[in-house]
Amino acid sequence: MRPVDERVRLKKEGGRYHHGNLKDALVLAAERSIAKSGNVDLPLRDVAKLAGVSHAAAYRHFDSKAALLAEVAARGFKALEEQLREAGARGRAPDARLVEVGVAYVAFALESAGAFRVMFEPSLKPLDRFPQLAEASFNALAVFHGVVQEAVAAKVLRADDVSGTVMALWGLVHGHACLLVDGHLAGPFELGPDDAAASARLVVRRLVDGLRER
């Protein structure tokens, strides 16, 4: 994997930039910069510089910083949905699938910290300003809803409040992911990125056990 601060170089042909992959290059440059700095307030001009193109060239694909961030976030949610579905398929039982989905969420946050920060950037609200982002966000959350419903149907979890259980699961793994990404668990619990899978599995398992059907 290339370092996050490495500039994205576009191929130059005949003295002119080849823009076939410019949109992808801008998205990648933004992700890398945000992952390194933790700062989402990244001017489009700076992203263009990281991608090795002019400010004007960047505007051919994104008319504003918000449009660029919305694209980063939408791609992030799509990638997250894919990883969550793959993780859910690995579990042999409904409760195991719940745990694996939670672990995958935390792993994604650490592996794609730049995109993860943008996905929950308040300035992009309301998401319906960006239909593609709104749809991608909904589809990722739907994976949580699916595994919870499956566990309820299998009488692993209580059936009294499915929506509340989905919210609890999402809130738990999202909070745990944020604490790990920002290094807040290093001091009090001596947990870092290498401990992510084990710690995520622990906290999700505690939640599942507490919500079991009696």
Residues 108-167: tens digit of each pLDDT: 999 999 999 999 999 999 999 999 999 999 999 999 999 999 999 998 888 888 999 999
Cα separation values, 59 from 49, 70, 123, Å: 12, 15, 20
The verdict on 82 and 34 lying in the same domain is no
Q: Which CATH number is 86's domain given? A: 1.10.357.10
The verdict on 50 and 101 lying in the same domain is no
What is the model's pTM?
Answer: 0.85
Which position has the higher pLDDT, 214 or 137?
137
The verdict on 51 and 80 lying in the same domain is no
The verdict on 34 and 118 lying in the same domain is no
Residue 87 lies in a domain: yes
> Residue 20's pLDDT band (boundaries 50, 70, 90)?
low
The verdict on 94 and 35 lying in the same domain is no
Asked if residue 187 has pLDDT above 70, the reply is: yes
Residue 213 is predicted with a pLDDT of 67
Closest among 57, 25, 28, 55 to 43, alpha carbons compared: 55
Q: What pLDDT digit, counting tens, does each position of 43-102 carry?
A: 888 888 888 887 788 878 888 899 999 999 999 999 999 999 999 998 889 999 999 999
User: Can you read off the two tokens belonging to residue 47?
Assistant: 């992203």
The verdict on 92 and 174 lying in the same domain is yes
Place of tokens 């505007």: 59
The verdict on 112 and 194 lying in the same domain is yes
Instruction: Look up the domain containing 114 and give its range.
Output: 72-210
The verdict on 82 and 44 lying in the same domain is no
The verdict on 18 and 91 lying in the same domain is no
The verdict on 95 and 39 lying in the same domain is no
The CA angle 180-186-187, to the nearest 5 degrees, is 140
The verdict on 129 and 172 lying in the same domain is yes
Residue 49 lies in a domain: yes
Neighbours of 63 (CB within 10 A): 11
The total of structural domains in the chain comes to 2
* DSSP secondary structure code for residue 9 in this structure: P
The verdict on 102 and 44 lying in the same domain is no
- 118 exposure class (CB count in 10 Å sphere: 0-12, 13-18, 19+): buried
